[in-house]
Amino acid sequence: MNLQEIGKRAKAAARLAARLSTNEKNRILRLVADALEADTAALLAANAPDVVNATNDGKNAAFIDRLTLTEARIATMARDMRNVAALDDPVNEVMEMKTLPSGITVGKKRVPLGVVGVIYESRPNVTADVFGLCFKAGNVAILRGGKEAINTNTAITNTCRNALAENGLSPDFIQLVEDTSREGALEMMRLTEYLDVLIPRGNGGLIKAVVENSRVPVIETGMGNCHIFVDASADLDKATRIILNAKTQRPGVCNACEKLLVHRAVADSYLPAVCKALADAGVELRGNRAAADICADITLVPPEAAEWHNEYLDLIIGIAVVDNLSAAIDHITAHSTGHSEAILTESYANAQTFLQEVDSAAVYVNASTRFTDGSEFGLGAEIGISTQKLHARGPMGLRELTSYKYIVYGNGEVRG
């Protein structure tokens, strides 16, 4: 099916989606969650050739991890969908209402965005997450995943579509674009007649391409050059535990720690220990000259200048010694992608300064950046992490997938 036909079907389905009651949406989401679990064997079978092909193509371990489905991950997809069903429905919420001197009463009512397009890469759980959130918020989803996950994405989409159709609803509430070519992506970016918003999820190259080429309004998400700063007053045992989690728990995701900044006052005593812990966990270390001099017994590769701006999405970390809190904030300001940053400190004043002056979507005190996640933030799931400031910022849940319209009540009033 070509994109024009997909768009027409999506636009027609969007009118139906906006009419659904909260109870009906919740019921269907729970049924789709059941269907995902029931189709576990089929989903794993569809995923297997994608993983084999990506491995044969030489994709790195972090990429393969993002691509791979397991029974546990399918169960998590179903759980997140049930969590979305349990959340308050933002659609039709009247946000404010006031009567003006003219006699008219003016209010704002929350409404769906309409048709939401998402271009993403190798994480097939995105397919289920986007459907669940879009459906609960009264939207229709057009999805285009990467070629590496085409079999898996097709299988997940079919499970959702079949569950919708079996329960008397339009399967076009979710559609997958099967054309994974660059030309197909560019065509989707120009689908202004049918798409209300386009959301890219993936690496910096993908996001940049969508932002620069799309004629559809874009919500920019994803790229996470996340920093952790170890302050002079940090609890160093706590710090090591947080850093290891933030770097190694899932290194291929956007909320993993990519850069470690250490206050000069504790660098001599702390850096060798934390670098050894990271190296023992299989992390490749890259450090500035000050860090390398302190860790003379551990190999720290000098980073290229561009690396301070980029995310690794792998078991690699950049390390810098900084003179003080102000220098750490300056470094983050210069290199951050606006995703997630953390300070590890026992100083209340320094924590408050960091929270005030670091301008990212999520700013932490004494916790792993890995928590920047819709599910972890109590949103049920997320459609992405917005790193821009307009419309939505941070994990995008249900409210971020709505807009509003003005509603006006009158009793014969005319404007003089």
Query: Is there a shared CATH topology between the 3-221+383-409 domain and the 226-371 domain?
Result: no
Do residues 81 and 381 touch, judged by C-beta distance below 8 A? yes
Do residues 172 and 12 touch, judged by C-beta distance below 8 A? yes
In the predicted model, what is the mean pLDDT of residues 182-211?
91
Do residues 257 and 278 touch, judged by C-beta distance below 8 A? no
Lowest mean pLDDT among 107-121, 228-242, 287-301, 337-351: 287-301
Predicted pLDDT of residue 123: 86
- Is pLDDT above 80 for 381? no
CATH architecture of the domain with residue range 226-371: 3-Layer(aba) Sandwich (3.40)
CATH architecture of the domain with residue range 3-221+383-409: 3-Layer(aba) Sandwich (3.40)
User: CA-to-CA distance for 362 and 339, rounded, in angstroms?
Assistant: 6
User: CA-to-CA distance for 340 and 360, rounded, in angstroms?
Assistant: 6
User: CA-to-CA distance for 130 and 29, rounded, in angstroms?
Assistant: 12
Confidence band for 279, pLDDT divided at 50, 70 and 90: very high
User: CA-to-CA distance for 319 and 383, rounded, in angstroms?
Assistant: 31
Domain ranges of the chain: 3-221+383-409, 226-371
pLDDT tens-digit series, residues 163-180: 999 999 999 999 999 999
- Is pLDDT above 80 for 104? yes
Predicted pLDDT of residue 390: 81
Q: For residue 2, with 0-12 CB atoms within 10 Å meaning exposed, 13-18 middle and 19 or more buried, which class applies? A: exposed
pLDDT tens-digit series, residues 9-38: 999 999 999 999 999 999 999 999 999 999
User: CA-to-CA distance for 227 and 363, rounded, in angstroms?
Assistant: 10
Residue 58, amino acid: G
Confidence band for 384, pLDDT divided at 50, 70 and 90: confident
Predicted pLDDT of residue 391: 82
CA distances 45 to 39, 63, 97, 227, 306, Å, are 10, 19, 53, 38, 40
In the predicted model, what is the mean pLDDT of residues 70-84?
95
Which residue reads 């994990």 in tokens?
A: 395
